[in-house]
Structure 1
Amino acid sequence: MTDSIPAGFAPWRPSSPFMTHLADLGTLYRRDADSVLALRVGHAHTNTHGMAHGGLLATLADSALGHTIAQQGQVSVVTVQMSVEYLNAVQPGDWLEAHVQIDKQGKRLIYATCLLKASGRLMLKANAVFAVRHAAVAASDG
């Protein structure tokens, strides 16, 4: 297992209590150039089969979606609906990147897709709908 972090990534410090707790399991990273969130998968992230736990993958996708939408759209959002397709097993040692695309942004709802990739391979696809909240500061990190 390699511990190296690809160039351009820096530690990301989420603001919500839940995501702060998740970060206790390992550092989350962000690449500012394209708002990609990432994680080096470790043993603490695995299920009884020795692969990354599906709940971890869904949480990373949800957080990446909310964070990217808040940053790019300058809005505060909450998840309304998310569907997840697990396509390949994520293994300890994998560098897992969350890539988000905003599909449609309305005044009240925002539709987006998140692809989790490891070594260029598609591991998970999540489609989600977020509701825009009225807040003083644009924010969301899961």
Structure 2
Amino acid sequence: MVSSPFSNIPEGFHILQSRGPFADLNGPFYRKLPNAGDTATVFGFLPLERHANSLGFVHGGMISTLLDGFMAQAIAESYKRKLVTLTLNIEFKHVIPIHRWVQADIELNEIEKNVISGVASLSSRNRTCATAKATFRLFNR
């Protein structure tokens, strides 16, 4: 019997409901329900062949998508508002192999004049693979 890569999703993670056609094509994406006292919002992802570059690692554009999308999701959940990305600065630190669980930890700052900033750390195999800082413009629903 062949096991599915999706049978290796860590305990506590649940599939995020759709955030639109782009997310549907690139997901599924996962959200870990917070424990009491958690300060970070935690998301997860299991990359497949379709997310790889020509070297067989997760494509940099997909890593950017994860960092941007997970920060946006954390903001949408926390503030119940629509938003767009204003800035996104990424540092790539290590490659991410396909079929290896990826976790994103998101920390948000306070809203100032309808702009919020955050930081994200993307890890796999117990090492930080990419980090990002971003700002987002919030809109009333």
Matched residue SS, 1:65: helix
Matched residue, 2:56: 50
Residue 2 of structure 1 and its aligned partner are, at CA, apart by 7.8
Match of 2:73 among 57, 67, 70: 67
Residue 93 of structure 1 and its aligned partner are, at CA, apart by 2.1
TM-score of the superposition, structure 1-length normalised?
0.85
Compute the RMSD of aligned alpha carbons: 1.8
Match of 1:91 among 83, 92, 97: 97
Residue 70 of structure 1 and its aligned partner are, at CA, apart by 1.5
Matched residue, 1:138: none
Runs of 5+ consecutive residues of structure 2 not aligned to the other structure:
35-39
Higher relative CO (Cα under 8 Å, sequence separation at least 6) belongs to 1
Runs of 5+ consecutive residues of structure 1 not aligned to the other structure:
136-142
Matched residue, 1:100: 106
Matched residues, percent identical? 24
TM-score of the superposition, structure 2-length normalised?
0.85
Give the AA of the match of 2:66. L
Matched residue, 1:13: 17
Matched residue, 2:123: 117
The separation in 2 between residues aligned to 1:114 and 1:2, in whole angstroms, is 28
